[in-house]
Structure 1
Amino acid sequence: MKYKHQYLIKEVKAGDTIEVFKTQSSRYGYNIPRKENTGSTPDAVEKNNQRLAEDTLRQLINENFQNNDLHAILKYFIENRPKTPEQAQKDVQAWIRRLRVKLKKIGEELKYIYAIEIGEKGGVHVHVIINYVDIRIIKETWPLGSVYFVPLYSDGQYKDLANYIIKQTSEMYKKKGWSGRRYTPSKNLKKPKVDKRRVDAKSWRKKPKPPKGYMFDPSFPLINGVCEVTGLTYQRYGFIKIKTYKERYQQRRLPANDLQTTERAL
């Protein structure tokens, strides 16, 4: 016999993180009062698209990158600035081809996600999240300007980085009237593991327990909320793996101080 009430649960496991979202549904035993259909405003649609883009980017970074991989920022010399986003795309793709050739010769793989940002005054720079490689090779293969490097944090959660990239590119796309993807990933990235299922219960535990080896993720605090439109409840929270200092230290390929010293020397 089918259970009278069910709720939906979606779990996304990406790298060292797990994101959980639970919600009721009118399809599974819950009565939803009919609401007036007022339609969605352009701002509401844009806000939702931005949230979805940030969710996808965050989970992709969490799944594929880790401690001391790099956030590289490619900048242009004034005389080399592209006049169109299409030209900037060609510049970045040409750089990736040169970089991939160099790395292939030494047996190293290239994984990346990049996003192009154009400032108010026309300044162009490219945000590139990339697996750790010799930064001298990155500089050698980008002759159009300078490169600045920031090592990724060691906790496995890159919410702030994804938020920044999506926010900056969304504002640019809105002002310029552009459309299309806000970022471009390499084809060899792994996809986060997504598990969607129905649970035979009317509601859920108000305070869930982390799985063994995990703790609550401070970036995703527990929220027990109510949807303003339907009046149905939802719950959202995140877990992150517990790591000792020793484990984090062993994952490092190049200490941050050495990276900064190498940058100054180049």
Structure 2
Amino acid sequence: MLYEDKQYISDKYIEHETHCIFDYGAKGLKRLSKKKATPLQIQKQNHWNKVKNCRRTIQLNFSEGDLWCTFAYRKGTRKDMREFTRDIRRFTNLLRVEYQKQGKDLKWIRRLEIGKRGGLHAHFILNKADTKLISDTWRKAVKDSGRAHFEVIDDEDGYNGLAEYICKEPTEEIQGQMTFLVPEDKKKLCSISTSRNLVRPEAVRKQISAWKIARILTGKEEIIPTEGYSIEQDTVRIGFNKFTHLPYIRYREKIITDSCDCRPQKCEQIARTQIICPETQIKNQISKAGTEIIKKAKGILGSIKDIWRR
């Protein structure tokens, strides 16, 4: 039985998703009765996939120092979705021209929203530029333009918080404001748009033996970080799929920079002993699999031995 490690590589991060590449369930366990996924389960799964894809897209195309921008209309201004999208399109086109004048390519990720009081506004992630230039372009493009708010983004959590905010589901108050909109306009306020020149996340696939997975699950072997990277402990997820009973491993690695507070000789010792960088290990260590997980892992290991003997 082979396992596949899908790696999503960006400048600072490597995200790992390890799972069995076959579709059948674990040997020796009874087949569960088929159950149709509930709408809530489908919604949660789609939202989780949406956040993952957005986070990885941000990691590939943006970095610290780029901008998180909010553009709104003047207080008291109310426009329909047709006028709103037309204003945003005009602003984006003018801003692209201004970037080109400075020898840059405009990159953006956008989310349109409606506020608790019905005010339409837009959130953008933009590659670095002069904030005065951007706000002047907003006022030039939109007649009833209001404030333009800017924040510098950081990658403290691998842009996960930023991705979750962009992909967030409307609250009950926001859904109340959306009741007056047609379904097509509601969809626009729940979707994400991006510029066409963004690099899209693609997985690098590597095969891993079942023996290695079994040793990690039983605690006999630790996950070894890629050379020059450290494993972020709070991203490690080890468990079993509740439908197939097959194990999975998910975690994220971050590149070790000069700002690492560990001494060079200690980093060399870490590489020799295959221990994770103390920058994160001091805070947390990979938790041992629970009693139930170990029991299941031993069962899988036994089935692997049976297959090997045959």
TM-score by length of 1: 0.80
Bigger mean CA deviation after superposition, 130-139 or 152-161? 152-161
Distance 1:28 1:231 in 2: 10
Distance 1:99 1:29 in 2: 52
Q: Does 1:244 align with 2:258?
A: yes
Relative distance call for 1:43 and 1:154 in structure 2 (3 A) is closer
Q: Does 1:225 align with 2:239?
A: yes
2:53 equivalent among 52, 56, 61 = 56
- Which residue in 2 is equivalent to 1:211? 226
**1:137-160 CA distances to partner (integer Å, 9 max, x unpaired)?**
110111211111110115582011
- Which residue in 2 is equivalent to 1:164? 165
C-alpha contact 1:7 1:202 (8 A) present in aligned 2: no
Relative distance call for 1:14 and 1:46 in structure 2 (3 A) is same
Shift of 1:7: 1.4
2:136 equivalent among 126, 140, 150 = 140
- Which residue in 1 is equivalent to 2:17? 21
- Number of aligned residue pairs: 240
- Which residue in 2 is equivalent to 1:9? 5
Q: Does 1:94 align with 2:90?
A: yes
Amino acid at match of 2:163: A
Relative distance call for 1:81 and 1:141 in structure 2 (3 A) is farther
Q: Which structure has the higher relative contact order (CA within 8 Å, separation 6+)?
A: 1
Report the 3-state secondary structure (helix = DSSP H, G, I; strand = E; otherwise coil) of the residue aligned with 1:149: strand
C-alpha contact 2:26 2:245 (8 A) present in aligned 1: no
Unmatched runs of 5 consecutive residues or more in structure 2:
140-144, 217-221, 261-310
Amino acid at match of 2:130: D
Report the 3-state secondary structure (helix = DSSP H, G, I; strand = E; otherwise coil) of the residue aligned with 1:187: coil
Relative distance call for 1:82 and 1:33 in structure 2 (3 A) is farther
Report the 3-state secondary structure (helix = DSSP H, G, I; strand = E; otherwise coil) of the residue aligned with 1:141: helix
Between the aligned residues of both structures, percent identity stands at 28
C-alpha contact 2:24 2:244 (8 A) present in aligned 1: no
Unmatched runs of 5 consecutive residues or more in structure 1:
247-266
**1:40-96 CA distances to partner (integer Å, 9 max, x unpaired)?**
111111111111110110000011100111111112213443322x43322211111
Distance 1:159 1:45 in 2: 21
Relative distance call for 1:126 and 1:196 in structure 2 (3 A) is same
TM-score by length of 2: 0.70
Distance 1:46 1:173 in 2: 16
Larger radius of gyration: 2
Shift of 1:193: 3.9
Shift of 1:218: 4.7
Amino acid at match of 2:224: K
C-alpha contact 2:106 2:127 (8 A) present in aligned 1: yes
